[in-house]
Structure 1
Amino acid sequence: MEQIVISTAYITLGQVLKEVGLIDTGGMAKWYLAEHTVYVNNEEENRRGKKLIPGDILLFEDGRKIEIVAN
């Protein structure tokens, strides 16, 4: 499982998509989420502005898992 370390209270789903290289710009997040299934804590999520906090687990349709952790 990959980890994304944040030093703020939260990170948005769109920022995570950009951080892991699934999209190139923040504007692509809406398109990506419309075309691909992403689960946050086992619930399907399609809001690019969804706030993710330490402890949240993301699961992508290709099987990739990412955990948000605090710095």
Structure 2
Amino acid sequence: MDKIIQIEEEYITLGQFLKYADIIQSGGMARPFLETYVVLVDGEEEQRRGKKLYPGTVVEIPGEGRFRVESAVGESTDDSTY
């Protein structure tokens, strides 16, 4: 089962993703992490921290799991209409 990372933006970068997924503690750790560990984005190895991830993107990190980026836009528990 994929772990879901919801974003409100059009996309996030791989570096931001690693922080949102609690893989790293700060954005400055992204480059060393990507140089040390294998990270697969949609099945292809990726080392660019600036790689854009859009809703539907699947990220796999051996030892950490499989994640899917999803859009949080439009999802609301408030039924009010404005």
**TM-score bracket for this pair, using the shorter chain length:** over 0.9
Q: CA RMSD in A?
A: 0.9
Report the TM-score when normalising by structure 2.
0.83
Aligned residue pairs, count: 71
Determine what percentage of the aligned residue pairs are the same residue.
Answer: 41
Residue aligning to 1:51: 52
Higher CA-based Rg: 2
Unaligned stretches of 5+ residues in structure 1: none
Report the TM-score when normalising by structure 1.
0.95
- Structure 1 stretches (4+) deviating beyond 2 angstroms? none
* Bigger strand share: 1
- In 2 relative to 1, CA 61–12 (structure 1 residues): closer, same or farther, beyond 3 Å? same
Unaligned stretches of 5+ residues in structure 2: 73-82
Residue-by-residue CA offset, 1:5-42 (whole Å, 9 max, x unaligned): 11111011001111111111101100000000000000
